[in-house]
Amino acid sequence: MTTISPKNQIKIKPTQLFDGYRITEEDVLILTQEGTVEAVVHQSEAGDDIKKVDGLLSPGFINCHCHLELSHMQGMIPEHTGLLQFVNQVVRQRDAPADEIAAAIEKAEAAMIKNGIVAVGDICNTADTLFQKEKNNLYYHNFIEVIGFEPGLADEAFKTYKMVYDGYQKVFPPQQLSLTPHAPYSVSTPLWKLLAQFPGNHLLSIHNQETPDENEWFINGGGGFKALYERLQLKQSPIAPTGKTSIQTYADYLQKEQQLLLIHNTCTDAEDVRYIQDRFPLVFWCLCPNANYYISNRLPDIPMMLEQNAQLVLGTDSLASNYGLSIRGEMQRIQQHFPQITVEQMLPWATLNGARALQIDDLYGSFEKGKRPGAVLISGDTVMLLSKSNV
């Protein structure tokens, strides 16, 4: 191993340093020129040539939930319509000229980088984002998302999305890919089973309990989804009501060792959290508060989740349901609704927990020796990437 001589080091002393675990005010971050972490040391031990900066220095942010391919839909759907209306509008309005979609994707990625995001859990129904991801500006975990309402057409739905998966497989290694169910209400029981058994699906991302209608269908077969299934004139409903909540129903279909990234959770209660955490070894609950506010003006019960020791992470969702793609913006929304939750409590959600949720904590999420997580300076209203991440 080569020893780094001090002149090749970058030493940064911010007003506050968040290392992935806690905030300190007297520590210095030492990086190589390439951005690999050498050490975090007390300023009295850091030697000379220390660059002082105003603000809070954090490892790069992890955006655990985005749909980059919907970036061209910014501002197209009105706020506070509720989830069923929202999804209906996305399906109706997502088509656009290819060059318009591509330009919006490129612009949205640049905005994420500007906002200090270094890695993204990105939902893909199409291969539209591949051209941009090949440029390697950001780390991506690509969740190829499967939708299929009709139980009798499960095999066809699986094959359709497997083709999208195969396209990504030409560019990305298996650890950056999953074939994942969209939501409990939009994936039929046989399709759930196909996805749960798909080899290499080490990590699944599921839109979970985003609307009260979801639990209503699973518990008593009523509500907005009953009406939707009737409108779709399905031969059979995707999944039969069980008298239990959605999450307590589909848990039965998943492998015992499955790592889970559960998105939204606006209607999840303490019993649901306990039920899942008792059964699966690694569960991350992704909060997308701006999207929740935009779509339904309702946020998840975050204090309850903290009481249940839920491991929380943050996501922006897409520009179809957000004002921007900023993890800091998500933290600000949480503080508006829950002023008792501090920045120091939320920063691990934005960094180390997110890296663990995407299975990249060997390189991202904290200032620990050998990692290259990127370094983000938050100063007043500005967020700035001071050092690049591993990509």
Measured from the CB atom, the residue of 18 and 143 that comes closer to Zn ion is 143
CA distance 350 to 358: 12
Measured from the CB atom, the residue of 128 and 317 that comes closer to Zn ion is 317
Q: How far is the CB of 182 from Zn ion (least distance, A)?
A: 9
Compute how many other C-beta atoms are within 10 angstroms of the C-beta atom of residue 264.
Answer: 29
Helices marked H in the chain — which ranges?
Answer: 83-93, 98-114, 130-133, 154-169, 189-197, 212-220, 224-231, 246-250, 270-279, 289-296, 302-307, 327-337, 343-350, 352-357
Phi, psi of 225 (to 5 degrees): -75, -30
Q: Give a three-class secondary structure readout of 310-337.
A: CEEEECCCCHHHCCCCCHHHHHHHHHHH
What's the alpha-carbon Rg for the chain, to the nearest Å? 21
Q: How far is the CB of 264 from Zn ion (least distance, A)?
A: 7
CA distance 263 to 317: 9
Residues 131-190 that bind Zn ion (CB under 5 A): none
- Which positions ≥6 away from 328 have C-beta within 8 Å? 61, 115, 116, 350, 378, 383
Q: How far is the CB of 21 from Zn ion (least distance, A)?
A: 29
Measured from the CB atom, the residue of 18 and 86 that comes closer to Zn ion is 86
Measured from the CB atom, the residue of 19 and 317 that comes closer to Zn ion is 317
Measured from the CB atom, the residue of 70 and 350 that comes closer to Zn ion is 70
CA distance 191 to 150: 9
Q: How far is the CB of 90 from Zn ion (least distance, A)?
A: 10
Q: How far is the CB of 317 from Zn ion (least distance, A)?
A: 5
Residues 39-78 that bind Zn ion (CB under 5 A): none
Angle at 155 between CA 149 and CA 160, to 5 degrees: 85
Closest CA to 182 of 288, 264, 295: 264
- Which positions ≥6 away from 3 have C-beta within 8 Å? none
Tell me the per-residue interface mask from 265 to 304 with Zn ion, x by CB under 5 A, - otherwise: ----------------------------------------
Q: How far is the CB of 291 from Zn ion (least distance, A)?
A: 7
Residues 299-358 that bind Zn ion (CB under 5 A): 317
Place of tokens 């999420």: 365
CA distance 158 to 174: 18
Measured from the CB atom, the residue of 46 and 291 that comes closer to Zn ion is 291
Measured from the CB atom, the residue of 146 and 343 that comes closer to Zn ion is 146
Nearest residue to Zn ion, scored by beta-carbon proximity:
317
Measured from the CB atom, the residue of 115 and 186 that comes closer to Zn ion is 186
Q: How far is the CB of 121 from Zn ion (least distance, A)?
A: 10
Q: How far is the CB of 68 from Zn ion (least distance, A)?
A: 11
Size of residue set near Zn ion by CB under 5 A: 1
Instruction: Write out the residues near Zn ion by the rule CB under 5 A.
Output: 317
